[in-house]
Amino acid sequence: KPVIGVFALQGNVREHLAMLAQVGVEGRPVRRPSELAEVDGLVLPGGESTTMDKLARSFELFEPLQKRIADGMPTFGTCAGMIMLANEITGGIEGQETLGGLDVTVRRNAFGRQVDSFEADLEFAAFDTAYHAVFIRAPWVERVGREVEVLSTVSSGPAEGRIVAVRHDRLLATSFHPEMTGDARLHGYFADLVRDH
Ligand code: GLN
């Protein structure tokens, strides 16, 4: 049974652990390098990417994380976690760095102030029915590299066509919060990716 860690210095940790339990994998909070070394895959939750960046550094997790991701550890970044995985960001704060690995450019707080948070039904080729997604001060993906697969885009409204879910080999990322709606299909998709690895 694979063990999937959840980066636990900041963000919706408990919710992700609950979803992992729902799809039959063992979830574990990861706060230190020794804990990171014991997991087969990792979830980078939503929260605040600038804070996650700083905390990862002060807990000496930044470099170990970067190394494991570069070595092919399956990783699922959600919202701020998507920002952390992106090779490039726009709208970051001065000095903000990301772990990288995912060949995309992500715009922080992309949907604008008027729509601080919103919900939308998304189509995924892998799922039979729409996936109801919750976006909170969410980023979107502005550029995708050649090897990146777009899994879902916003289907209507002012943000129509914006890319909100991508996969690059073993890296999965969503602009929204898949841990908040009780729909475990994306965690299941990620667990399969970890099992296949
Ligand atoms: N705006 C946040 C950031 O830049 C992300 C928000 C979220 O994770 N819900 O990190």
pLDDT, tens digit, 9 for 90 and up, residues 63-106: 999 999 999 999 999 999 999 999 999 999 999 999 999 999 99
Per-residue pLDDT, 114: 58
State the chain's mean pLDDT as an integer.
96
Total domains in the chain come to 1
Task: For residue 80, give Cα distances in angstroms to 6, 11, 24, 182.
Answer: 13, 9, 25, 19
Q: How many CA atoms lie within 13 A of 148 on its CB side?
A: 23
Give the domain range for residue 173: 3-196
The protein residue whose alpha carbon is closest to atom 5 in ligand 1 is 80
Q: Which of 108, 119, 164 to mutate to test the pocket of ligand 1 (most atoms within 8 A of CB)?
A: 108
Band (29; pLDDT cuts 50, 70, 90): very high
Give the single-character DSSP code of 81. H
Q: 179 an active-site residue? A: yes
Q: Tell me which of 15, 79, 168, 187 is the catalytic residue.
A: 79
Q: Give the CATH number for residue 123.
A: 3.40.50.880
Q: What is the pTM assigned to this prediction?
A: 0.97
pLDDT, tens digit (0-9, with 9 covering 90-100), for 39-52: 999 999 999 999 99
Q: Where are the strands (E) in the chain, listed by range?
A: 3-7, 26-30, 41-44, 75-78, 86-90, 102-107, 117-122, 131-136, 140-144, 149-153, 163-168, 171-174
Per-residue pLDDT, 112: 80
Band (197; pLDDT cuts 50, 70, 90): confident
163 is in an annotated binding site: no
